Homo-oligomer: A and B are copies of this chain.
Amino acid sequence: MSIAMRPSQALRLWQQVMLSQVRDDEPDLTMRQTAILFTIYLDPPPHTVRGLAARLNVTKPVITRALDTMGALKLVSRHRDELDKRNVLIKRTVEGALFVERFGDGIIARAHELPI
């Protein structure tokens, strides 16, 4: 079942979620970092630098740097692939799962607050 929503509602929802993210004193992720994080947590593993770069249509260093940043925030972790040691497998973390879960709850909460 698809979600029933008009453009004006969609935009208002987007604004409210953006505002709540910005107002938080937590450092906001960039658009790219968010796309990477959500892909790691929503798409089935395994996730590699190369695979994420292809999925987002960006260069590999973009992924590497985003993983550096989000790794420091403990939102993701990296592990060398033992079967093909050229690969790095990106894994989910407890902190990252909580972050994503809270984000989803935030969307729902803003959706409920929307006017008619």
Is A19 a contact partner of B107 (Cβ separation < 8 A)? no
A73 partner residues in chain B, CB cutoff 8 A: none
User: Which of chain B's residues have a CB closer than 8 A to the CB of A11?
Assistant: 38, 41-42, 100, 103-104, 107
* A7 vs B42: C-alpha distance when bound (angstroms): 12
Task: Name A's interface SS.
Answer: helix
Q: Do B19 and A13 touch across chains, with their CB atoms under 8 A apart?
A: no
- Residue A114 interfacial (CB < 8 Å): yes
Q: A22 to B57, Cβ gap below 8 A?
A: yes
Contact B111 A12 (CB under 8 A): no
Chain A interfacial positions (CB closer than 8 Å to B) = 1-15, 18-19, 21-23, 28-32, 34-35, 38-39, 41-42, 55-58, 100-101, 103-105, 107-108, 111-112, 114, 116
